[in-house]
Structures are given as structure tokens and as C-alpha cells.
Structure 1
Amino acid sequence: MNEAVNILIVEDEGILAMGLEESLQADGYTVVGIVDNGPEALEVIKSQGIDLVLLDIHIKGDWDGIETARKISVVKEIPFIYLTAFGDKNTIDRAKDTMPAAYLTKPYQPANLRIAIEMALHQFAVRKSKEAKVVSIDAPKVKEPGNETILYFNDAVFVKQNYRFVKILLSDVYYLEADSNHTYIHTSDKKYALRNSLQHVLEKFSHPQFVRVHRSYAINLNRLQTFNDYSIILGPYDIPLGRNYKEEFFRNFSFL
């Protein structure tokens, strides 16, 4: 399961790129790749799941970082941050036209970069709320000091932990479990807590693959393996099928 935020670095100075990679990994991010030119960056964007791009403006090839950002935007809507030594008005004006999430000049401060990444992901999720189903869910104080936010959009939930967002793909979720006013998200190897009722989470997710099968459980139908009148098997998990939820559960099947 890939739960980290995947970042692509576009930088033609090898030593700087390796230092940036080390800093990002120390903060818990996954650096999917380091490339030094626009066409190669575009190929990575097309073939891999990238959540954010860090772009130098002066890179190898016919495309500079700004032109690369334009090309990427045509292929995929994705947040990107310029990380460059250029701070002249002409460059900044060109960069503004591409709507970057941030523009940081070198030498950068790791703390400033960390904040820029956090804000880029948050702003992207908020902007996507106008186009897709996006909700904010308060995280539990025990997990998230300061009552910080969990963002859901498209096919993933982003959980802010230790100054970074952790991604949970909906396809990795096996089931949701209610415990008083908390709901736990269960994956194959981890459990995440939300300070919300199960019904509230289901309403906010509003995704047909999640179906309530018990007062305390909702399952991911895509993980369903077998079931009988009393229980449902999802991989290693055995979930009870409540009598009052059987009708709702069976509505998801076509009888031949």
C-alpha cells in the first residue's frame, strides 16, 4: 500500500537534487523520481501517480520549468512548486501565469519548503471541491494535536500527521468500524481514527463502494471475497452482517 505523498523533483543540479530528496524523505514524503528536463518529467507524470511536483526553472532541454509546468497541466491537474534561483520580475510574471502553489527562491529553508508543500496539498484539495466530492473531517485530538484536518477527494483520503499529509487510497480500505463517536479506517496493515460517527463518515464519503452492513461496520465492496447470512469475509477480516442491513447489502447485487 502506498500511503505517502508522492513527489517528483525536476532539477538539473545533481547535488541539490539529492539534498532535496534526502530532506523530503526525512519529512516522510516519497520521492518517486528525479529528472533534469521537461519531456522526461512529463513521461513520469503520465506513467506514475504523482501528487506534487517540485520544479526548478532553469533545467536542461528546450523547455524551461515554466514551460514544463504548462505541459504538465495539460496532461494532469496537479499542484507544483517552483524552487529556483531566479527572482527577477520577468521570470516571476511568467511563472504567475501557470498558477503555481508556491514560488521559493534558492537557497531554500527546509521549514519553508515543508510549509509550502503542506499548503499546496491543502489548497489543491479545496480547489478540487468545486469539481469533485470533497469534504473535511476533523481528526481525533489523540492522533492530531490541534484538531487538524483530513481531506478527501477523488480516490484518496489525506490525513495530516507529523507536519505532512499521509495518503490513504480508498482501494486500500477494507472496512470502517464505529466505536462510540469515533470511526476507524482499517487497511490491510494499519488503522486510522476519525472523530466522527460512522454514519457521518459514510455521508461525507458518498461513495457507492462503501456499504453499511452492521450498526458498527461498513465495508468496501471491492474487497468482498465471500459471505453468508451472518458474516462477510474481506481478506483477513470477518465482519458481521446485521439482520437490519441485509436488504441494503443485497441491493448491490444483480440476480441472474
Structure 2
Amino acid sequence: MQHDISILIIEDDAMWSQSLKNNLVDFGFTVVGTPNTFQNAITALNSLNYDIALLDINLHTRNEGIELGKMLTNLYRKPFIFITGNFDKQTMDQAVEAKPSAYLTKPVNPVSLYVTIQSAINNFNNKTVAIAAKPGETDSDSFFVKLGDKYKKINWKDVVYLTSDKNYTVIFNAVDGTEYYIRSSMNRTLQYIVPKHLQGKFIQVNRAETVQLSFITELIADEVYTPYKTFTVSENYIRDLKKQLNIIA
């Protein structure tokens, strides 16, 4: 059974904490807690069920986040992402010792937030430690969904289609012939979750369905054919589809 990835936010700035929470919820993550002090964070780490933590290095003008990071690595064995607005050399040297799975710099934009969480899960699963902040890296060719207590990696090149289902986006993975759910609207999925360098490969064929161009085998009248499913193209989308398929007549 597929589950939402749960996240613990440890941040002393209420505005940043709420902003992070809003964006995470919009992307379909579950926020299980938002402790804002070292002691409250310890309580949360011990009592809450979470998959990954977003951790501010500088809690109340002190680098208490680094100590919490070391505990997450050595005691709780959970992936975490360091967040800070100031990555000076001394702070970075200390942060590296905590072995974070990724870094984020403030201000955090939605695309960086989503991709960094995916990268952190991948790094943690592969036992890879992030050694430097790379805020410019905002694209990823894959993403993870949670299945029970496991994370399944899905490559965007294998996604045949996306279907809107109320507040969810259903994606079909060609590798295992299975549909998975992203708790995000179709528009938000296409704008923020599909990597920017791959967005041009996905073409909307009607209000509720988007198809990856590489899987289209035929267009007959208003029907698009793939090896897995046939789609009806709405009048408003047919011109763009023909243009993307290089149909000139």
C-alpha cells in the first residue's frame, strides 16, 4: 500500500516553518510536527513517526541543529536535510561531521524543496553523505514513493501518463505496469514536480490527462495511442499535440 512520506520540521522561525509546511503539504507530504527548540526537537525525535527531518542548523542563534543532526545520524538513523541562510566555512565544516543527506539554503523555493527531499532519500538509501550545499541543483530524473516501510524509485523516463484524480495525480510506471499516486494537483505536478528539463516531453491531451511523447505510437483522428492505453484528445489540445509530434499537414 502506498503511503505519504512523513516529515518533521525543526525550525525556530515561525514564518519559515509555516512556509515549509505549506509547501510540503501542497506537494503531498505529511508534516508530523514542527518543534522550534532543542528540547522540543528531542521530544519529537523520540515520540513521532517520521521518514525524514528538515533541520535548521541555527536554532536560537546557536548551532544546536548540528548536534541534532549527529543524533539523527548516530542514534535515530534517519535521513535529514540541513537548512540555513548562512553556509560559512566554519559552519559547513561542522555540518559535514553530522553526515546530512542533503542541504537547502534559505530562501527555499518549492522546486528545490521537493527535489532536495527526493535527493536526500536517494542519498540515504545509497549511504551517500552530502558534502556541500548545491542550491542550484533543482532537477532530478527520478522520484520516490513510499510503499509500506520501503521507498520505490521511479524514473520520469518510464512514466507513460499522468491522470488527474481530484487532489491527486496518478502516474503510470511502464517498468512494473503499476499506477502510483502523487498527492498534488495535475497543474502543480506539471509545474513543480516534473523536472524542468523534462517538462517539454509531457503533453496534455485533455483536462485530466497528460502523456509522455516518447510513448505515443499513433494519432488517429482525436485518439492518441500508446502501448498501454488510448487517450481522447480534446479540441483545445489537438493543435499543440500535433505541433509536438511534428505533424505539419
Q: TM-score, normalised by structure 1?
A: 0.51
Over aligned residues, Cα RMSD in angstroms? 3.3
Residues 92, 62 of structure 1: CA spacing in aligned structure 2 closer, same or farther, 3 A cutoff?
A: closer
Q: Which residue of 2 aligns with 1:44?
A: 44
Distance in 2 (CA, whole Å) between partners of 1:114 and 1:39 is 28
| Mapping of residues 59-138 of structure 1, within 5 Å | 59-60=59-60, 64-127=64-127
Residues of 2 paired with 1:23 and 1:162: CA distance? 23
Please give the alpha-carbon distance, in whole angstroms, between the structure 1 residues aligned to 2:34 and 2:155: 25
Instruction: Please give the alpha-carbon distance, in whole angstroms, between the structure 1 residues aligned to 2:16 and 2:144.
Output: 32
Question: What one-letter code is carried by the residue in structure 1 that aligns with 2:43?
Answer: E
Alpha-carbon distance in structure 2 between the residues aligned to 1:54 and 1:123: 15
Secondary structure of the residue aligned to 1:50 is coil
Q: Determine if contact 1:42/1:71 at 8 Å carries over to the other structure.
A: no
Unmatched segments (≥5 aa) in structure 1: 129-145, 164-180, 185-190, 194-256
Query: Going by fraction, where is helix more abundant, 1 or 2?
Result: 2
Residues 219-244 of structure 1: CA deviation (Å, up to 9, x unaligned): xxxxxxxxxxxxxxxxxxxxxxxxxx
The answer for the alignment partner of 2:27 in structure 1 is 27
Structure-2 change in CA distance of 1:36 and 1:157 (3 Å) = same
Q: CA deviation at 1:183?
A: 7.7
Question: Cα offset for 1:161?
Answer: 7.1
Letter in 1 for 2:53: V
Identity percentage of aligned residues:
31
Larger RCO (CA within 8 A; separation ≥ 6) = 2
SS of aligned partner of 1:35:
coil
How far residue 16 of structure 1 moved from its aligned partner, in angstroms, is: 1.1
Aligned CA distance change for structure 1 residues 126 and 73 (closer, same or farther; 3 Å) = closer
Give the TM-score normalised by the residue count of structure 2. Answer: 0.52
Q: Structure 1 residues 91, 30: CA separation in 2 closer, same or farther (over 3 Å shift)?
A: same
3-state secondary structure, aligned to 2:9: strand
Q: Which residue of 1 aligns with 2:135?
A: none
CA shift at 1:84, angstroms?
0.8
Separation in 2, partners of 1:123, 1:73: 13
Deviation at 1:70, TM superposition (A): 1.5
Secondary structure, in 3 states, of the residue corresponding to 1:20?
helix
Q: Distance in 2 between matches of 1:2 and 1:93?
A: 38
Give the Å deviation of 1:97.
Answer: 0.9
Letter in 1 for 2:122: H
Give structure 1 regions of 4+ aligned residues with deviation exceeding 3 angstroms. 60-63, 148-153, 159-163, 181-184
The residue type paired with residue 126 of structure 1 is N
Residue pair 1:37, 1:63 contacting (<8 A) in 2 also:
no
Aligned residues: 151
Rg larger for: 1
